[in-house]
Chain A
C-alpha cells in the first residue's frame, strides 16, 4: 500500500524531470531565437548595421558546453528562477505568480461546474433511457460538444459585451478594485470570469454528460442494483450510493486531468477575453518570441497536468476501496 504511493510520487517526479529536460532541448532546437528577432526589428527600424552588430554582441552570452548550461538551467529552475521575460522586462516567475491564480480560478471553477452539471444531467438521462428527454439531451450534448470554445467565446464577447453591454469584455477585475477578501472584489472577479467560465462549461459539458449517461446505464444493469432494489433500499439511496457513486468512479480521474488540460487550453480563451492569466501571457510570449516566458508558462502547464494526475492517483483510493488494497493500481 505504501509502495503504491512511493511509486506514484516517483512517477510524477520522473515525468516532471523529463518535461524540463525536453523543454531545455527543444528551446535550443528552435531556429531563430530572440536575438534574431531583435536583429530583424532593428533592421526594420533602419538602425545602422554596425550598431546592430554591437547591440547583438552586447546581449550575446558566451556559449558554454551544453552540460554546464543544463546544470545552470536546472539549478536556477530549482531555486525558482525562470529567467527574465524579454518582452515584459520582468522576471518570469513574477508574471506567473501574478497570473496563475486567475487562470486556476477560472478553469477550476469551470471544470467543477461542468462536472456537477454532467453528473446530474447524465444520471437523469440514464434513468430515462430511451425517452424523448434522452434523445433530445443526447442530441444537445453532441451539438454543444461540437462547438469550439473560442467560437462561442467570440460570440459571447460580441453579443453580451459589445451589443448588450451586460458583461465586461476584458480584464480580470474592474480598474480600481484591488485583490482583497471583500464582497466587492469577489463579486467583481466573478463578474469578469463569468463569460470565460460559461464558454468552457457549455462547450465541454456535453461529452462528460454522455460519459456519465453511459456509465450510469451500465451500473443500472448491474446485479447489485437489482439486489439493492429487492432489499428494499430507497430509490434515493440507490441513486446516490449505488448508481451515482459507481458511475462517477471512472470519471474522477478524467475530472482532475481535465482541470490540467484546461489550464493549457486557457491560451486562446484568455486572449479572446483579454483575461490576463497565464494563457494570455503565453499568447503574448508566442507572438513576441519571448522564450523564457514561453518556457516558464509551458513548465507551469505541464506541472499542473502532472500534478492533477498525481492527485487523482493518490486520492482515488478514497472513493474506490478496491484501489486502496492494491486490487487495481491504475486509476486511469
Chain B
C-alpha cells in the first residue's frame, strides 16, 4: 500500500526557501557508512526550524553541513543551496575557499554547543569581536556598536562583557555573548547546535525568550538543533525529527506535537518527562539507536518498532504525506496512531521547559 508514498519534495518544501538541502550525506570512510544519510530539507526564509534527535543521531552533522563545516576528515556530498534575498543562489559545496570563508558568519552563522569552549581563553571578548570584524573587512567601529546593541538585547552590560576574559563570565553569560558574536556580521541564517545544553532550566528558558526576540528584531532564519523536544516545541515554527542519521518526520510544530505520525516520534513524545504526568507513566524506548557502521537494513527504526513488517526490514521508506507540509518516513504511519498511543495531551505551548507566551 504505497499510494500515499511520495518521493517529491512536497512535504519538506518551503514557499520561499533560504536554504535548500538535497541528499546531504556525510561519510568518514568513503561511503561505507554515513553519519548523515542523504537528508533533504528546505528552510523557509524567516522561520525557526527545530531539529530534534537523540545523541548520535546526526544532528550536529546536519548543523555543520549548513556551513559546509563538517569536521575533517569527513566528506560532505549532495547539494546545499543558499538563496540570499534578491540575489543569485549560491551552491555552498562548490564555493572557492575565500568565498566560503566570507559566506560563513556573514550570511550563515553558527552557535556551537558548549559556549565555554568556544572562546579563546587567552583573549578578552573585545578581541574576539574585533578580530571577527577585521577578518571580514567590516567597519570595526560600526561593528562594535552593533555588538554592544546585541549584547544589550541579550541583557548583558556591553562594557563589562567586552573587557572580560571568557573565564570571568558565567556559563549563561558566555552563551549569550557567543550568540552576540555569531550575529555581529548581520547574518541571514543562524544555526544553533544544542545552544542550551550545558545550562540550567531557568537559563534555557530565558535564552529561548531572547532568541525569539532576536529573531523578530533582526529578521533571522534559525535552525535550532536539540535533543530536548519540548524545549524546541515552544520556539520552533516547524520541526524535523532525526533518527539514525536520517530525517524521519517533518511538519509544523503543532502537527508534530499533537499529531505525530511516525512511531519513533510518538515514542519520543511518550519518553519525554512531563510535569503533569506521574513518573511511572514515562515510557523509555526499548533498545538502542544504531551506530553508523552497523545500520539495520530498511527503516533504521525497525528493530525497535512495534509496527515493523518485512517491508520495513528491506526497504528504506520515503516520506508519506500525512497532511499538507507534514511528512512521515513510515509505511505504517496510519497504524501508529493506534499502536503507539500518546500517553498525555501535548501542545506546543505548555510543554515542559517551554516558554509561556
What are 15 inter-chain pairs, A to B, with CB distance below 8 A? Answer: A222-B117, A223-B117, A224-B120, A226-B71, A227-B118, A231-B135, A232-B104, A232-B106, A232-B132, A232-B135, A233-B132, A249-B122, A321-B165, A322-B121, A325-B167
Contact A234 B135 (CB under 8 A): yes
Flag whether B55 is at the interface (Cβ < 8 A).
Answer: no
Q: Count of A-B contacts with CB under 8 A?
A: 67
8 Å CB contact of B131 from A224, A233, A320: A233
Contact A227 B122 (CB under 8 A): no
Flag whether B301 is at the interface (Cβ < 8 A).
Answer: no
Contact B118 A232 (CB under 8 A): no
List of 9 A-B pairs having minimum Cβ-Cβ separation, nearest first: A223-B117, A232-B135, A321-B165, A232-B101, A227-B118, A231-B132, A233-B135, A224-B120, A322-B167
Flag whether A39 is at the interface (Cβ < 8 A).
Answer: no
Given contacts A223-B112, A223-B114, A321-B165, contact A230 B120 (CB under 8 A): no
Determine the chain B residues whose CB is within 8 A of the CB of A246 once the complex forms.
Answer: 120-122
Flag whether A170 is at the interface (Cβ < 8 A).
Answer: no
Determine the chain B residues whose CB is within 8 A of the CB of A232 once the complex forms.
Answer: 101-102, 104-106, 132, 135-136
- B115-128 interface code vs A (CB 8 A; 1 in, 0 out): 00111111110000
Flag whether A327 is at the interface (Cβ < 8 A).
Answer: yes
Flag whether A241 is at the interface (Cβ < 8 A).
Answer: yes
Flag whether A283 is at the interface (Cβ < 8 A).
Answer: no
Determine the chain A residues whose CB is within 8 A of the CB of B132 once the complex forms.
Answer: 231-233
Contact A230 B105 (CB under 8 A): yes
CA distance A322 to B67 in the complex (A): 32
How big is chain B's contact interface, by range? 20 to 34
CA distance A230 to B124 in the complex (A): 19
A sample of 17 more A-B contacts (CB under 8 A), given A229-B69, A231-B132, A233-B135, is A227-B112, A227-B119, A230-B67, A230-B105, A231-B131, A231-B181, A232-B101, A232-B135, A233-B132, A241-B120, A242-B120, A245-B122, A320-B121, A320-B122, A321-B121, A321-B167, A322-B165
- A209-224 interface code vs B (CB 8 A; 1 in, 0 out): 0000000000000111
Q: What residues make up the interface of B, taking CB atoms closer than 8 Å to A?
A: 67, 69, 71, 101-102, 104-106, 110, 112, 114, 117-124, 131-132, 135-136, 165, 167-168, 181
CA distance A246 to B110 in the complex (A): 23
Flag whether A237 is at the interface (Cβ < 8 A).
Answer: yes
Determine the chain B residues whose CB is within 8 A of the CB of A327 once the complex forms.
Answer: 167
Given contacts A230-B67, A230-B104, A232-B102, contact A321 B122 (CB under 8 A): yes
Flag whether A319 is at the interface (Cβ < 8 A).
Answer: yes
CA distance A246 to B67 in the complex (A): 26
Contact B119 A224 (CB under 8 A): yes
Q: How near does chain B come to A223, taking the closest CB pair, in angstroms?
A: 4
Q: How near does chain B come to A327, taking the closest CB pair, in angstroms?
A: 5
CA distance A189 to B169 in the complex (A): 52
Contact B131 A319 (CB under 8 A): no
Q: How near does chain A come to B111, taking the closest CB pair, in angstroms?
A: 9
| Identity of the chain B residue whose Cβ is nearest the Cβ of A223 in the assembled complex | B117
Q: How near does chain A come to B80, taking the closest CB pair, in angstroms?
A: 15
8 Å CB contact of B118 from A223, A320, A325: A223
Contact B119 A230 (CB under 8 A): no
Contact A228 B120 (CB under 8 A): yes
Determine the chain A residues whose CB is within 8 A of the CB of B120 once the complex forms.
Answer: 224, 228, 241-242, 246
Which of B69, B102, B122, B136 has the most chain A CB within a 10 Å cutoff?
B122
Q: How near does chain A come to B357, taking the closest CB pair, in angstroms?
A: 32
Determine the chain A residues whose CB is within 8 A of the CB of B124 once the complex forms.
Answer: 321
CA distance A231 to B100 in the complex (A): 11
Determine the chain A residues whose CB is within 8 A of the CB of B106 once the complex forms.
Answer: 232
| Identity of the chain A residue whose Cβ is nearest the Cβ of B128 in the assembled complex | A231
Contact A224 B118 (CB under 8 A): yes
Determine the chain B residues whose CB is within 8 A of the CB of A229 once the complex forms.
Answer: 69
- A243-279 interface code vs B (CB 8 A; 1 in, 0 out): 0011001000000000000000000000000000000
Determine the chain B residues whose CB is within 8 A of the CB of A233 once the complex forms.
Answer: 131-132, 135
- A294-332 interface code vs B (CB 8 A; 1 in, 0 out): 000000000000000000000000011110010100000
Contact A230 B110 (CB under 8 A): yes
Determine the chain B residues whose CB is within 8 A of the CB of A227 once the complex forms.
Answer: 112, 118-119
| Identity of the chain B residue whose Cβ is nearest the Cβ of A233 in the assembled complex | B135
| Identity of the chain B residue whose Cβ is nearest the Cβ of A231 in the assembled complex | B132
CA distance A246 to B123 in the complex (A): 10
CA distance A224 to B135 in the complex (A): 16
Contact A241 B135 (CB under 8 A): no
Determine the chain A residues whose CB is within 8 A of the CB of B117 once the complex forms.
Answer: 222-224
Q: How near does chain B come to A153, taking the closest CB pair, in angstroms?
A: 38
| Identity of the chain B residue whose Cβ is nearest the Cβ of A219 in the assembled complex | B120
Q: How near does chain B come to A317, taking the closest CB pair, in angstroms?
A: 11
8 Å CB contact of B122 from A226, A237, A319: A319
| Identity of the chain A residue whose Cβ is nearest the Cβ of B100 in the assembled complex | A232
